[in-house]
A and B are shown apart, each in its own frame.
Chain A
Amino acid sequence: DAGVIQSPRHEVTEMGQEVTLRCKPISGHNSLFWYRQTMMRGLELLIYFNNNVPIDDSGMPEDRFSAKMPNASFSTLKIQPSEPRDSAVYFCASSFGDGLNYGYTFGSGTRLTVV
């Protein structure tokens, strides 16, 4: 298994531009999580899906952020318009069920820089 695959690995964009981050979870996993990691705030859960349905998006910072999971093998996190304070590493993770027995599998992350 190739693990959780995120793309791109690095993204540099100008303020005001739209940014789309992509994630392919592990086949067979039915829960998917988007996290953001910064030095100041550590690891923050933005949103998670169970069976492609958003369960909790209370961590999404504001309306500029949106996430979709059109099918079991693909999810996107979109920021429009982007701002410098969105600069962070964004991680996608997936799990089977609630992940309590086997934990979550994380992707390698997308490092976003907004200038």
Chain B
Amino acid sequence: GNSVTQMEGPVTLSEEAFLTINCTYTATGYPSLFWYVQYPGEGLQLLLKATKADDKGSNKGFEATYRKETTSFHLEKGSVQVSDSAVYFCALSDRGAGANSKLTFGKGITLSVRP
């Protein structure tokens, strides 16, 4: 079955530090990959996505590249801000499942950015 593995957290960084959050996946078909962000007290929001191998998703300074050879979709940002403090979820959806596709989420990782 499909699964997503995220690095253990929490992660604490100083403002303007470089961020990498690791995500690897296992999928039986041809997944699309996503990063969602959850700010305190809110629901999850789509941050970025990639639908095929070598695609790069980007948004708000965050980037992630779909690496089929390493089954990874690591999230990066060159300079984090205090406002980036949130929980980050990696997710996949198997396009091969058609109308019954659904997202499989990782456990999430909490990022705290210090001023």
In contact, B46 and A4 (Cβ under 8 angstroms): no
Residue in chain B with minimal CB distance to A51: B99
**Per DSSP, are chain B's interface residues mostly helix, strand or loop, or mixed?**
mixed
Interface size for B (C-beta < 8 A) is 25
B42 interface residue (CB < 8 Å to A) = yes
Interface residue ranges of B100-115 to A (CB < 8 Å): 100-103, 105-108
Q: Which A residue sits closest to B108, measured CB to CB? A: A42
Closest A residue, CB atoms, query B98: A98
- Cβ-Cβ contact count across A and B, 8 Å cutoff: 59
A103–B34 CB distance below 8 A: yes
In the complex with contacts A42-B108, A43-B89, A100-B43 CB distance below 8 A:
no
Whether B105 contacts A42 by the Cβ 8 Å rule is: yes
Q: Are A104 and B103 in contact (CB under 8 A)?
A: yes
B77 at the interface (CB under 8 A from A): no
Q: In whole angstroms, what is the CA distance A104 to B44 when docked? A: 9
Do B101 and A100 touch (CB < 8 A)? yes
5 nearest A-B residue pairs (beta carbon): A106-B43, A103-B46, A98-B101, A42-B107, A106-B44
